[in-house]
């Protein structure tokens, strides 16, 4: 019986690993190829912002399509959309065309994540939910970190890397679409009114938006930054990958530390340290490459913890019946920030060069630290609903259903009809 319950989870996790490896390769590949094609930093920033805009829009569009055609067909639909979008990049070498393609890619990927995460919610046994969520996030981080290391397989003007991304996405569909898993019912995920959200946890609300502004800029422009400060393709892959691995390595200890104190104080400290690390990067090309890589690793450890800290702070102060809707609202705020961040940082890099990226990151994170500190000084508050920190990435609202704090698993919608396609 246990083996039967583990097998579907393994298929879903394999699909996630392949999907995220392709996604992890595509972002740096577009920065590399865009620079080779003569795109300005502003243009690359706008292209990367379009991806997060698509991710944001897809969050609203995906549930309706999945309910209408079913999980397996929806997964195949989104995988096809993503594959076509990827393969069109080398055929339509124009910033505006790439922006539209990145928009489509963001819509497709959030649809794929929604299918997988809603399935995980049903397949995970009640006692397994927290562990399944942790494994899922580890696979997310490791696959994203692995993707950039595929860049050295071909030259920057070689279209085969786009084909490799497309193949990874198609391969991700194989274990999922071949499954006979029961299809879950995708529940409605109403958003909490933003004023109510801000009233419940002002530091978490502002922090999620500012964390999105910072991390969106990292995801969109770290690769082009690496090229501008003198790294080759291997060095660029190392910088992006080590930053993600830093986030994977330090989230757990930072989270456990934050569980023992006021979450706003933890948020202020982590944001301040991340900002100081960004300021230390300002010499850029003048720094020894190993030192710069070490700084980015440490920065990733701090910066990747900010959004989960905001979620944990929010969960500390909300009743159980509001947590799913509140987390979904916080996710959307973070998505808005992520969509704006690359455009702002790209504009700054176009004006002042590569070092504008760490300067932008430092300024955004110092503002986040100031907000968290001011809220801590203005108001002392008891923890109403003690929760635990969970290492996480921003994916879809469906992922929050796996968190133990969001309610008993008995409330999770159970599978209905079988789909054997």
DSSP 296-312: HHHHHHHHTTHHHHHHH
Instruction: Say if CB 191 and CB 331 are below 8 A apart.
Output: no
54: pLDDT strictly greater than 60: yes
| Percent with pLDDT over 90 in the chain | 52
- Beta carbons of 209 and 353 less than 8 angstroms apart: no
| pLDDT greater at residue 1 or residue 58 | 58
Burial tier of 64 (Cβ tally within 10 Å: 0-12, 13-18, 19+)? exposed
Q: What is the pLDDT of residue 61?
A: 86
What's the pLDDT at 382? 56
Give pLDDT, residue 406.
65
Distance CA 208, CA 214 (A): 10
What's the whole-number mean pLDDT along residues 218-231? 94
Report the pLDDT value the prediction gives residue 393, as an integer from 0 to 100: 81
Distance, CA of 136 to CA of 286 (rounded, Å): 38
Q: In this predicted model, which residue has the larger pLDDT, 5 or 8?
A: 8
At 368, which helix (H) or strand (E)? helix 356-378
Tell me what the mean pLDDT of segment 303-314 comes to.
Answer: 89
Predicted confidence (pLDDT) at residue 121 exceeds the cutoff of 90: no
In the chain, what is the straight-line distance between the N-terminal and C-terminal CA atoms, in Å?
23
Q: Give pLDDT, residue 81.
A: 96
Q: Give Dmax (Cα) for the chain.
A: 61
DSSP 152-170: GGS-TT-THHHHHHHHHHH
Cross-strand pairs, 182: 418
Per-residue pLDDT at 409 exceeds 50: no
Phi and psi dihedrals of 405, rounded to 5? -70, -20
Q: Does an H or E element contain 62, and which?
A: helix 41-69
- pLDDT for 285 equals 86
Distance of CA 202 to the CA centre of its chain: 22
Three-state SS for 154? coil
pLDDT in tens, 381-398: 555 555 677 777 878 777
Digit-coded pLDDT (tens) for 164-203: 999 999 999 888 887 776 677 766 666 667 777 788 788 8
Average pLDDT, the chain: 85
Residue located via tokens 């790209």: 346
């Amino acid at each position: 019986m246990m083996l039967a319950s583990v097998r579907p989870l393994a298929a879903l996790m394999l699909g996630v690993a392949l999907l995220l490896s392709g996604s992890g390769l595509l972002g740096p590949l577009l920065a590399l190829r865009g620079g080779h094609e003569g795109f300005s930093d502003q243009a690359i920033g706008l292209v990367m912002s379009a991806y997060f805009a698509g991710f944001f829009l897809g969050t609203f569009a995906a549930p309706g399509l999945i309910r209408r055609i079913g999980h397996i067909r929806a997964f195949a639909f989104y995988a096809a959309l993503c594959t076509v979008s990827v393969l069109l990049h080398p055929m339509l070498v124009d910033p505006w065309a790439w922006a539209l393609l990145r928009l489509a890619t963001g819509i497709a990927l959030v649809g794929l994540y929604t299918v997988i995460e809603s399935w995980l919610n049903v397949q995970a046994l009640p006692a397994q939910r927290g562990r399944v969520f942790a494994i899922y996030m580890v696979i997310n981080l490791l696959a994203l970190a692995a993707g950039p290391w595929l860049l050295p397989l071909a030259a920057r003007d070689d279209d085969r890397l786009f084909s490799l991304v497309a193949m990874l996405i198609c391969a991700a569909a194989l274990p999922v679409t071949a499954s006979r898993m029961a299809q879950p019912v995708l529940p409605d995920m109403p958003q909490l009114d933003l004023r109510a959200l801000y009233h419940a946890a002002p530091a978490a609300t502002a922090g999620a938006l500012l964390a999105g502004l910072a991390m969106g800029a990292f995801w969109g422009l770290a690769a082009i930054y690496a090229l501008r400060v003198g790294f080759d393709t291997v060095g660029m892959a190392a910088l992006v990958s080590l930053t993600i691995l830093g986030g994977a390595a330090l989230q757990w200890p930072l989270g456990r530390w934050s569980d023992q104190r006021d979450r706003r104080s933890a948020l202020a400290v982590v944001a301040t340290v991340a900002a100081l690390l960004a300021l230390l990067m300002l010499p850029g090309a003048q720094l020894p490459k190993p030192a710069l890589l070490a700084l980015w690793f440490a920065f990733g450890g701090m910066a990747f913890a900010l959004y989960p800290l905001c979620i944990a702070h929010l969960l500390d102060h909300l009743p159980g019946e509001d947590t799913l809707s509140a987390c979904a609202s916080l996710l959307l705020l973070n998505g808005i920030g992520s969509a704006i961040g690359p455009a702002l940082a790209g504009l700054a890099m176009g004006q002042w060069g590569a070092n504008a990226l760490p300067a932008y990151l430092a300024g955004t994170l110092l503002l986040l630290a100031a907000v968290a500190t001011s809220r801590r000084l203005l108001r002392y508050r008891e923890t109403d609903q003690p929760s635990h920190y969970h290492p996480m990435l921003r994916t879809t609202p469906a992922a929050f259903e796996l968190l133990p704090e969001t309610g008993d698993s008995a409330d999770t919608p159970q599978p209905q009809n079988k789909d054997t396609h």
